[in-house]
Structure 1
Amino acid sequence: MASTLRDVARLAGVSVKTVSNVVNGYPHVSTDVRRRVEAAVAELGYRPNAFARTLRTGRVGVLALVLPDTDLPYADDLTREVVDAAGRRGYRLVVERGHDEESTDTTCPMPVDGVLVGAPRALTATGRPVVLIGGGSSDGSCDQVSVDVAGAAEDATAHLLRTGRRRIAAIGAYPPEPGGVPRSGTAGYHRALRAAGLTPLPGHLLPARHGRRADGYRAARDLFAGPDRPDAIFCLSDPLAIGAMRAAFDAGLRVPADVAVIGVGDIEEGRYSRPSLSTVAVDTGFLAREAVARLTARIDKPHTAVAAVVAPHTVLPRESTGGPAI
């Protein structure tokens, strides 16, 4: 027999109304109560009756996740987490791919109640509630649950410095924003070097527009062929870092003895590569839960104040920087 709101309320030790508030994404619920209710929902496998809600509210019970047409390093994990988070609130999820990383269209070929947009540069408005999720920038007009890209870059570079590396290159360092403002990943990399009294050597900041393995390979190959070979490389994504490690192998270099490598994203491939890849892990579960909570709250109350939330991240030292295997 399917679980009910009353079953969840009994297990969590709260009222049925409180369970309804949590399931429907109302923001004014304490963190402790929300966690208890979500734990009870997960334990009982409770799923709200989406058809009944559609009849009651006129909503279709579907959210869209729009991802850029690039290799977002944690896209697979994020998608799984969003599916779970949406399901716990009685929503189904459709996934769409944006056309490119500079412009993300939030249109969707089927009716949806709201849109989660991953790492946009610009948005095409549709009138639906929108929450930005992951990287990218916002003009403050909609909610955002983001990754601290600058902080992740700074922490990764600081980790390389602690291992004794000093000639640290960066792959995926985009050119400055209009007006000369450094992009976030580049800014964090520079901050860490400045704190150690260092500056990047000429040619040690290389762009990688799409963040793919081939991009990392080509950039690292150019670094190794240059006059100032780096002793460490920070990559703005794990796929870039995996490509860079292959380039090191092809150049006859040892990782990490000759060059240390660290990425961002903690993709599964990096855990089982040889050597295993040091990385900055992003809490994709937090990203998904908070983004879905913000979106469902805005669906219910469109004029709720805009909020910005930052997900935590953690440096995971592995073999590619001299750490343990996994």
Structure 2
Amino acid sequence: MTTDARSPAPRAAVTLADVARAAGVSLATASFVLSGRGNLRSSGSEATKAKVRAAAEELGYVPNRHAQAMRTGRGGGIVLTLGALDDPWAVHLTTQVRHDARPHDFSTLVLADESWFQYLQGASADAALLTSIDFVENGPDLVRRLASTTQSGLVAFSAHMEPEDFDVVRSTPVPAIGHAYAALRARHQRVHLLAPDLPDRPGGVLAHPRTQAFLAAAREHGDGPAEALVKVGPAGKRSTHLTGLDWLAGPHRPEAVICFTGYQAVAMQLAAERMGIRMPEDLELIAIGDVPAETEYFGPVSYYGVDDVFARLSGILIDRALDREDRPGALHTFDWQYFPGTTTRDHEAAS
């Protein structure tokens, strides 16, 4: 005996017209609200927008982003090319952009490698932050090629480029590293740089502008061999912590360290606490790059960075995503300044 068991007919995909009918609005209004243009007057009142979004959620409407991009030139999202996911700076920026993008119906996408050119060639985005331009081969040329072929509102993070059909955020830590070296050298005979291994970059970490700035400062003070003052360890918070433990337990324990990034400073701070090494009495640390407060375990880390950097970057990206019609590129200069914390001896004097 057999049973004629037939599979149920597949459920038809919910369309934008279905959402418009359920919300009691026109198809055009529903399109404006759900296409990333909900901030425009054409999309109606806040009550209308809420009805459209509620109807879309109840019906399970999923917009076809590819078709939407082809029709409107908008991809509905902001792309952040950050290169790493475990850096607190990258995490904090992503959190800020996601928070600021939601009211405008923009999604947030993070690229955790440096293949931004290949990705953006075949993708639509409303804005994209490119952070590794100065460190990849032909980086500026790749940005120009993207700008000539894509609808994306590009924001280039570069110390060397000028704005063209894209915005440029200019921010360089090179002077800050020189200032950090001089401040620590005034109190210590030797100042070290803790840097992550960068095997995929041309020339490795020793060729990186931050390392080059440190080496220049060491030579200016007559310290050397300068390369011997650079402590290179595996990248990542846990690996840096283990490197710090070995370094602090060894026969040549450092007394003054400039950390390549904020996450390295936090990892070293944790290692020092675990080893019972007092900070700043026995060890002073200065981070190059902002250290989000929520990543700190034992008091604020002293660092050089940009004031309100995450909100400022996010604002530039949101603004670029919202207004890309015949808009020339703009230059945004981010100056670095010193923020003393509990990892340096100047903390009390600055308080």
| Residues 158 and 132 of structure 1, relative CA distance in 2, 3 Å threshold | farther
Say if 1:286 and 1:311, in contact at 8 Å, map to a contact too: no
RMSD of Structure 2 on Structure 1 (CA): 4.1
Does residue 282 of the first structure (1) align with residue 331 of the second (2)?
no
**AA paired with 2:230?**
L
Question: Residue 153 of structure 1 contacts residue 186 of structure 1 at CA under 8 Å; is this kept in 2?
Answer: no
**Closer, same or farther: CA 158–214 of 1 in aligned 2, 3 Å:** farther
Q: 1:97 matched to which residue of 2?
A: 110
Q: What residue identity is the alignment partner of 2:86?
A: D
Provide the secondary structure at the position in 1 that maps to 2:181: helix
Alignment match, 1:147? 171
Kindly report which structure 2 residues correspond to 1:143-222, keeping only aligned pairs within 5 A, or say none.
143-162=167-186, 164-172=187-195, 178=202, 182-199=207-224, 203-208=228-233, 210=235, 212-222=236-246
Q: How does 1:287-298 map to 2 (within 5 A)?
A: 287-293=313-319
Equivalent runs, 1:49-64 vs 2, <5 Å: 49=41, 51=43, 58-60=72-74, 62-64=76-78
Q: 1:174, 1:308 → 2: CA distance?
A: 32
Aligned residue for 1:233, secondary structure, equals: strand
Quick check: 111-120 or 274-283, which moved more?
A: 111-120
Question: How far apart are residue 268 of structure 1 and its match?
Answer: 1.0
* CA gap 1:183/1:111 in 2 versus in 1, 3 angstroms: closer
Q: CA deviation at 1:300?
A: 1.4
Deviation for aligned residue 1:243: 0.9
Structure 1 residues 266 and 246: CA distance shift in structure 2, 3 A: closer
Any idea what SS the aligned residue of 1:318 has? coil
Change (3 A) 1:113 1:97: closer
Report the CA distance between 1:236 and its aligned residue. Answer: 1.9
Query: Runs of 5+ in structure 2 lacking a partner?
Result: 1-37, 45-67
CA distance in 2, matches of 1:258, 1:200: 24
Q: 2: CA distance between counterparts of 1:49 and 1:81?
A: 25
Q: Residue in 1 aligned with 2:345?
A: 322
In 2 relative to 1, CA 307–246 (structure 1 residues): closer, same or farther, beyond 3 Å? Answer: same
**Could you say which residue in structure 2 is the equivalent of 1:68?**
83
> How far off its partner does 1:255 sit?
1.6
Letter in 1 for 2:338: V
Contact 1:216 1:242 in 2 (8 A): no
Which structure has the higher relative contact order (CA within 8 Å, separation 6+)?
1
Distance 1:76 1:133 in 2: 19
**Which stretches in structure 1 are left out of the alignment for 5+ residues?**
1-45
1: CA distance between counterparts of 2:275 and 2:302? 20
* C-alpha distance in structure 1 between counterparts of 2:169 and 2:261, whole Å: 19
Which AA in structure 2 matches 1:144?
Answer: V
Q: Does the aligned pair in 2 maintain the 1:174–1:206 contact within 8 Å?
A: no
1:116 paired to 2:139: no
Greater mean alpha carbon deviation, residues 212-221 or residues 76-85: 76-85
Structure-2 separation of matches of 1:311 and 1:247? 32
Tell me if the contact between 2:177 and 2:214 (Cα under 8 Å) persists in the aligned partners. yes
After superposition, what is the alpha-carbon deviation per residue over 1:5-49, rounded to whole angstroms, capped at 9, x for unaligned? xxxxxxxxxxxxxxxxxxxxxxxxxxxxxxxxxxxxxxxxx9543
Distance 1:173 1:80, change over 3 A: closer
Kindly indicate whether the alpha-carbon contact (under 8 Å) linking 1:78 and 1:288 is maintained by their aligned counterparts in 2: yes
Contact residue 117 and residue 132 of structure 1 kept, 8 A: yes
More deviation, 120-129/273-282 = 120-129
Shift, 1:209, TM fit: 5.6
Evaluate the alpha carbon distance shift between residue 312 and residue 220 of structure 1 in structure 2; reply closer, same or farther with a 3 A threshold. same
CA–CA distance in structure 2, aligned partners of residues 81 and 229 of structure 1: 38
- Give the equivalent residue in structure 2 for 1:244: 268
For the residues of structure 2 that align with 1:72 and 1:50, how far apart are their CA atoms? 40
Say if 1:152 and 1:280, in contact at 8 Å, map to a contact too. Answer: yes
Equivalent of residue 282 in structure 2, options 247, 254, 258: 258
Identity %: 21
In the TM superposition, residue 234 of structure 1 has moved relative to its aligned partner by 1.0
Structure with the higher fraction of residues in helix conformation: 2
CA–CA distance in structure 2, aligned partners of residues 266 and 143 of structure 1: 25
